Structure 1
Amino acid sequence: MDERTALEPILGQADNFLAVLERVSRVAPLSKPVLIIGERGAGKELIAARLHFLSERWARPFVKFNCAALNEELLESELFGHVAGAYTGAARARTGRFELANGGTIFLDELASMSLRLQEKLLRVVEYGEFERVGSSETIKVDVRLLGAANVDLPAAARAGRFREDLLDRLSFDVITIPPLRERKEDILLLAEKFAEGMATQLGREYFAGFAPGAQRVLLDYEWPGNVRELRNVVERAVYRLEHARQVVERIELDPFESPYRPRARAGTDEARATVPLGPGREDRAVTDSDPALPLDFEAAVAAFETGLLRRALGEARFSQKRAAELLGLSYHQLRGLLRKYRLLDAETGTAAESAAR
């Protein structure tokens, strides 16, 4: 990302998002580590870029890396480098990301996926600014500001022993939590207009004619589990599919896979037993069409069946509880009662759903 891209205005007028930008402006000048927490597609990398380019390190390197992209051995090599012959396939020496970021900022996304051993090595870099390349005992000193990001509850991961508490303490000089798009209703149409105008420009059109009232309602009513990234994809697709340059967007297609000819899984197949994820921290269970074998625990079997239906409806409704209730022929409050009964609704999810339904 170059300087011009990084300094592009981040659109948003919701009070909770403006508070985030204010917090970014306050902590940016300090060469302190910052954690950025947010759901997928919420804009964690944009916030990291803003922290870097508003700091005194703005003219120095800004290095970005996703820690979930590689296995432990390759991740260690990517971050800290290696010497020739350090491991099989390491024919030549490699400079790591921390060396490349010397004097500047490094942004590590999905920190929670890093092993405890690498977390210990990362702690040493944050604490003392030093490390060794893989296969070498030579200590390398660097001056790097670390920005980390995660879409999981890091304190909970630390309590469970999956994340080092001392590293969490060291990284959390400040923690910036980005509100999901469903909690920034004021920003949805603002961002949609920006993405639509950008797509119209790519298509060589003079202007974007706008969204019809029905399309606006769809955009505002949807919960956007993929946040800003999903909104951008949906809007750009809608503009791309317009037949005429001056045509208003009347139809919003939230699911590009939806079709009467869409392949359906047969009962008993692996596809039919595919899990429906309910978000971070949830244990995904299979939704299956197969009949359970007798004898069985009747109450447990009924609970499993109802839970499967609830998960399936939520998945098909893209996590809109109002829509899921309609799919199951239930009232909204009946659905909420079942979600509570089977502990499929935690406090955070419940608050978000209730506010969206009002």
Structure 2
Amino acid sequence: MRDSELEEVAPPPLVGESECFLAVMEQASRAARLSKPVLVIGERGSGKELIASRLHYLSERWAKRLVKFNCAAVNDELLESELFGHVAGAFTGAVKARAGRFELAHGGTLFLDELASMSLRLQEKLLRVLEYGEFERVGSSETQRVDVRVVAAANVDLPAMAASGRFREDLLDRLSFEVITLPPLRERREDILLLAQKFGEGMARELGREYFAGFSPAAEQQLLDYSWPGNVRELKNAVERAVYRLDNARRVVERVAVDPFESPFRMSGAAPAGTVGSAAAALPPVAVAPVAGPLAPPPSVWKFPLDFKTQVADYEVRLLRAALAQAQFRQTRAAELLGLNYHQLRGLLRKYDLLKELRGE
């Protein structure tokens, strides 16, 4: 059975074009070349796991396993066994020997998330593996040797924890060959609409819809104004939820735009306790709106039966070509004429293979 935490295929590409995002990508690309430990710092939902994947797949270890483990997922006693393995009879329930994550990641990369939750005792054992590549399974005195690159992640101030004695300073030094600090989404405003469009298109495909038109101007402004404390993960959930909640009666209409979002908690009548200051609790409701645009009158006589999708596609292609011609093939202007944003227009041009015409092919 495949271990759910053993990644055997490359992850989806990271998306962004903001200066701070591109700087982080370049930093990760440089660090990937070496087998030194890397510490990734970032808020929840900011993409720490994706950075770990980038470090692995751009390294010489790419053909080996990338093993991921959340140190906060189990208590301290189980964590030692999960990381370093155990022998049969080491504790109640240990009926047979079991390899830990370090052994599974031999030759590859081990991503340790929520590292700050690890006890000082286990931090010492982790330091030994980083220094010498050696450890013992729980209940055994036999030394195991591994070749593993460690990428660790945290969303807390580890130097402050070290200064207060809650985190080993020598371990922090050892992990910090390179420290990658991920910018929160609120500092990547140029990427918000780009990511939202990507998530909307993905959800539309999952729902079997052929086309995702994008967001209304009000929704776009709301996306940009919100602080996104949950970062990219929260944005993804909000967009997918909004696309999913499009009115059932309009599902046959492919050209719809998502209007402003609504918190899932308001749908049940109240926000949960502890959401003080949450902008999501004040978000207006989800709605759908037809994409505005100059439409030519339909033929006066329809000949039925007909292929609905073919007729709609032909009509859209004619509209696109007319708008491009009027805009002298300036795509930004053509998008304005059709009431679309640039990314929506590009999506339609790709859908109907019209980019070749723009290039004169």
Calculate the TM-score normalised by the size of structure 2: 0.73
CA–CA distance in structure 1, aligned partners of residues 34 and 269 of structure 2: 55
Change (3 A) 1:89 1:4: closer
Q: How big is the shift at 1:177?
A: 0.3
Q: Which residue of 2 aligns with 1:139?
A: 143
**Alignment correspondent of 2:95:** 91
Work out the CA distance in 2 between the residues paired with 1:238 and 1:275.
23
Secondary structure of the 1:147 match is strand
C-alpha separation between the residues in 1 aligned to 2:267 and 2:200?
Answer: 24
Secondary structure of the residue that 2:69 maps to in structure 1?
Answer: strand
Corresponding letter in the other structure for 1:144: V
- Matched residue, 2:187: 183
Aligned residues of 2:227 and 2:279 also touching (Cα < 8 A):
no
1:218 to 206, 217, 222: 222
Work out which of the residue numbers 242, 245, 264 in structure 2 matches 1:256: 264
Matched position secondary structure for 2:153: strand
Partner of 2:30: 26
- 1:39–1:227 CA contact under 8 A, matched in 2: yes
User: Distance between the aligned counterparts of 1:90 and 1:148, measured in 2?
Assistant: 28
Aligned-partner residue type, residue 99 of structure 1: E
Cα distance, 1:262 vs structure 2: 3.0
CA distance in 2, matches of 1:91, 1:259: 48
Structure 1 or 2, whichever has the larger Rg, is: 2
Judging changes above 3 Å, is the alpha-carbon distance between structure 1 residues 194 and 217 closer, same or farther for their aligned structure 2 residues? same
Tell me the equivalent position of 2:14.
10
Query: Which AA in structure 2 matches 1:87?
Result: F
Q: 2:210 is aligned with what amino acid?
A: E
Task: Give the 5 Å matches for 1:1-358.
Answer: 2=7, 4-6=9-11, 8-243=12-247, 244=250, 245-253=254-262, 255-259=263-267, 261-262=269-270, 312=276, 314=277, 316-317=278-279
Q: Distance in 2 between matches of 1:175 and 1:84?
A: 38
Structure 2 Cα separation of the partners of residues 91 and 246 of structure 1: 59
Amino acid corresponding to residue 186 of structure 1 in structure 2: E
Residues 287-343 of structure 1 deviation map (CA, whole Å, 9 limit, x = unaligned):
xxxxxxxxxxxxxxxxxxxxxxxxx4x2x44699xxxxxxxxxxxxxxxxxxxxxxx
Provide, for residues 155-189 of structure 1, a one-character-per-residue CA deviation record: whole Å limited to 9, x for no partner. 00100111000000000000000000000000000
In structure 2, how many angstroms separate the alpha carbons of the residues matched to 1:20 and 1:263?
35
User: For the residues of structure 2 that align with 1:181 and 1:211, how far apart are their CA atoms?
Assistant: 19
Measured after TM superposition, the shift of residue 116 of structure 1 is 0.2
The 2-side partners of 1:84 and 1:132 are apart by 14
**1:223–1:319 CA contact under 8 A, matched in 2:** no
Is contact 2:135-2:144 (8 Å) kept? yes
Q: CA deviation at 1:100?
A: 0.4
For residues 224 and 56 of structure 2, the distance between their equivalents in structure 1, rounded to whole angstroms, comes to: 32
Tell me the CA shift for residue 89 of structure 1: 1.4
**Cα deviation 1:67-112 (Å, max 9, x = unaligned):** 0000111000000000011011111111100000001000000000
Aligned AA (2:228): W
Q: What's the offset of the Cα at 1:9?
A: 2.3
Number of corresponding residues: 272
Gaps of 5+ in 2: 1-5, 283-361
Corresponding residue for 1:302?
none
Amino acid paired to 1:180:
P
Return the alpha-carbon distance in structure 2 between the equivalents of residues 147 and 107 of structure 1: 5
- Equivalent-residue separation in structure 1 for 2:8 and 2:136 (angstroms): 31
- Partner SS state of residue 68, structure 1: coil
2:256 counterpart SS class: coil
Matched to 2:168, the amino acid is R
CA contact (8 A) 1:61 1:103 kept: yes
1:214 and 1:250 in contact (8 A); partners too: yes
Aligned in 2, Cα 1:11/1:82: closer, same or farther, shift over 3 Å? Answer: same
Corresponding residue for residue 299 of structure 1: none
The letter of the residue matching 2:135 is: F
* Matched residue type, 1:262: A
